[in-house]
Amino acid sequence: MRFSESFIYTSKEAPSDAVLPSHIYLVRGGFIQSVGAGLYNFLPLGKKVLDKVRAVAKEELDKAGCQEVELAFVTPSEFWKESGRFEKYGKELLRFKDRKDSEYVLGPTHEEMMVNMARAFIKSYKQLPVNLYQIKTKFRDEIRPRFGLMRGREFLMKDGYSFHKDEESMIKDGFEKMEKTYSRIFERLGLDFRIVEADSGAIGGSGSKEFMVLADSGEDTIVVCEDCDYGANIEAAVRENPKAPHEIDAEYERPEMQFGKFYTPDVKTIDELAEFFHIEPYYTLKTVAKKALYDEGVEKIVLFGIRGSDELQEVKACNAVNANDLVDVSDEELEKAGLVPGFMGPKDLPEDVIFIADKTLEGEISIIAGANEKDYHYVGLNLVVLKLEHKDLAAVKEGDSCIKCGGKLKYTKGIEVGHIFQLGTRYSAPMKAEFLDENGKSKPFVMGTYGIGISRLLAAIIEQHHDERGPIWTKESAPFDLEIIISNIKKEEELKTGESLYKELSKDFDVLLDDRKERFGFKISDYELLGIPYAIIVGKKIKDGLVEIVDRKTLQKQEVNVKEAVEKIKRLLV
């Protein structure tokens, strides 16, 4: 491709709202163009990168025996009603009606459509297993799209679905196979990633794993162990029950408490409470109120009890009560339910209020908690006699102990680029997607589902590979293999050499020839902004028969004889 004839337009200025390197460079380099909230056009450069990433995914998936299909983007709402997700999915699901007043949704993911496809053709266990996927635009009406391609509303996703006769096959032929395949895809793209345990949510199923590209700008917090390979999304991370301060530090004694109700005027927060009684927050119980939302507009106020030293993990809490979502409750609503903000606790609760306690509180016989009465707390409260329901609710903290090896846990940030999921019969059962097994019995498919954020990968690659001058594309993601820069096209010899190198190298590689009537500085800056792995500079030194080879990663230049340049580049690019 000749730069002078290409639709490539770089800019010195970044969009005013861009903060992430990936967002800034994708726009400045002329890869994408913003057209609305979370909506982007892919310009020729961006499209090339997108296609390359997509090709890597496709190659590995096909090699693993998956088959590509392509499903309708506009999906009839009836399928969504069959699975029960039409209401449940919430506002992210874009619904609309056609001229005949029929309801449709823009596909945010395609479980329903894929199940519908499978049930039409698969009738026997002999046809199983099968793994189908597509790489296609998705639309999710995100609350707050941001960060360029990182969190758009329209995005390119690879979504795969496997169908099996039983759990065993789903894990072996689906889940585990995809875990390996995904790892190969991300390795080929040159990414440093980690596979972590993830929240399997209210959907159920026995497991799900996320592929996290490690980057400080990642939106997900992941918990990793310093000593072993344990890693989990904070939403799903588990730990050993933390030890009490008196168990860690011999100097510190467990506070002795006589059971009783204490007058604690205006002591509402855990900090104030710990201060008031001169104890560690560990010995107090923090009660967090949430409103749990269920189908058909049902709402329930739920209280979650955790240690004062912990924080509530909302996803865990949501799963604990099997709700669609948890939202905050206003003080007015709490008062209406007979609760006193600032003084809530597990004892003497009003009727109809559910209380769930964190698992670290199981067996606790002496703790300080709100008394459900203004300006009062219970001291020395025995939780055992209250017969509370216990669930894992607390967020794992840095410094907590690993459940696998006892090592120290710490936080790191990651970009979720892949998610694999053991679905079971969550969709096949309600949608009556069934086959006949060896005994002629009708059974729903046991399914797995697997996603890769293809467009997000572009952002992830840049987040992990860039410098202050622009992106540094990895070999398999670069828009071109090589750029040839003719320093000054008015110099006959430079032009001629550049053209002949271009002709020669184009036979084997995708080459961009910068033949624009610009100055050298302008061109080299553009080269760096495009992030192409290597460049050949044809400039002044041509008089001595020399050109330079630039490595985008190190920015080092190496002089080579013109005659050797082709061979040298070939060795670098193979």
Q: Is 286 in the site for RNA (CB under 7 A)?
A: yes
CB-based contact 458:531 (threshold 8 Å): no
Q: Is 524 in the site for RNA (CB under 7 A)?
A: yes
Give the CA dihedral 265, 267, 272, 278, nearest 10 degrees.
Answer: 50
Question: What residues does 483 pair with on adjacent strands?
Answer: 512, 535
Alpha helices, DSSP H only, in 206-354?
245-248, 270-277, 314-320, 331-336
Residue 88 CA to residue 107 CA, distance in Å, equals 15
Give least dist CB 212 to RNA, A.
20
SS3 for 452?
Answer: strand
Q: Is 519 in the site for RNA (CB under 7 A)?
A: yes
CB-based contact 170:206 (threshold 8 Å): no
- Buried b / exposed e over 389-427, threshold 16 CB at 10 Å, is ebbbbbbbbeebbbbeeeeebeebbbbbbbbbbbbbbbb
Question: What residues does 378 pair with on adjacent strands?
Answer: 261, 369
Q: Is 311 in the site for RNA (CB under 7 A)?
A: yes
Closer residue to RNA, CB minimum distance, 158 or 286: 286
Amino acid letter, residue 95: R
Work out which of 116, 131, 208, 287 binds RNA, going by CB under 7 A: 287
Pairing between strand 103-106 and 74-76? antiparallel
Q: Is 72 in the site for RNA (CB under 7 A)?
A: no
Tokens of 488: 């000054």
Under 8 Å CB-to-CB from 363, ≥6 apart: which residues?
Answer: 383, 384
Give least dist CB 300 to RNA, A.
14
Closer residue to RNA, CB minimum distance, 100 or 144: 144
Give least dist CB 439 to RNA, A.
51
Work out which of 348, 522, 561, 564 binds RNA, going by CB under 7 A: 522
Work out which of 331, 362, 493, 564 binds RNA, going by CB under 7 A: 331
Binding mask 347-376 for RNA (x = CB under 7 A): -----------------------x------
Residue 166 CA to residue 164 CA, distance in Å, equals 6
Q: Is 555 in the site for RNA (CB under 7 A)?
A: yes
Pairing between strand 534-538 and 482-486? parallel
Q: Is 17 in the site for RNA (CB under 7 A)?
A: yes
Work out which of 188, 469, 553, 568 binds RNA, going by CB under 7 A: 469
CB-based contact 109:158 (threshold 8 Å): no
Q: Name the burial class of residue 141, with classes exposed (0-12), middle (13-18) and buried (19+) by CB atoms within 10 angstroms of its CB.
A: middle
Give least dist CB 504 to RNA, A.
19
Count Cα atoms within 13 angstroms, Cβ side, for 116.
15
Q: Is 468 in the site for RNA (CB under 7 A)?
A: no
**What sign for the dihedral angle of Cα 231, 233, 236, 240?**
positive
Q: Is 344 in the site for RNA (CB under 7 A)?
A: yes
Closer residue to RNA, CB minimum distance, 90 or 204: 90
- Interacting span for RNA (CB under 7 A) from 63-71, 116-124, 170-178, 284-292: 284-292
- Interacting span for RNA (CB under 7 A) from 195-203, 404-412, 456-464, 537-545: 537-545
Q: Is 537 in the site for RNA (CB under 7 A)?
A: yes
Site for RNA in 37-56 (CB under 7 A): 37-38
Rg of the chain over all Cα atoms, to the nearest angstrom: 29
Tokens of 118: 């499978």
Give least dist CB 311 to RNA, A.
5
Give least dist CB 567 to RNA, A.
20
Give least dist CB 225 to RNA, A.
22
Give least dist CB 31 to RNA, A.
14
- Interacting span for RNA (CB under 7 A) from 186-194, 307-315, 398-406, 440-448: 307-315
Q: Is 253 in the site for RNA (CB under 7 A)?
A: no
Q: Could you count the other beta carbons within 10 Å of the beta carbon of residue 172?
A: 12
Give least dist CB 91 to RNA, A.
9
Work out which of 76, 84, 190, 341 binds RNA, going by CB under 7 A: 341
Reduced 3-state DSSP string for 295-307: HHHCEEEEEEEEE
Residue matched to tokens 């003084």: 343
Site for RNA in 114-153 (CB under 7 A): 143-147
Q: Is 278 in the site for RNA (CB under 7 A)?
A: no
Closer residue to RNA, CB minimum distance, 24 or 402: 24
Q: Is 265 in the site for RNA (CB under 7 A)?
A: no
Listing DSSP states for 30-98 in one string gives: TSEEEEETTEEEEPHHHHHHHHHHHHHHHHHHHHTT-EE----SEEEHHHHHHHTHHHHTGGGS-EEE-
Q: Is 512 in the site for RNA (CB under 7 A)?
A: no
Give least dist CB 263 to RNA, A.
15
Give least dist CB 37 to RNA, A.
3
Closer residue to RNA, CB minimum distance, 67 or 330: 330
Give least dist CB 133 to RNA, A.
30
Where along the sequence are the contacts to RNA (CB under 7 A)? 10-13, 15-17, 19, 28, 36-38, 143-147, 268-270, 286-290, 311-312, 314, 328-329, 331, 334, 341-344, 370, 469, 487-488, 490, 518-522, 524-526, 528-529, 537-542, 548, 550, 555, 557
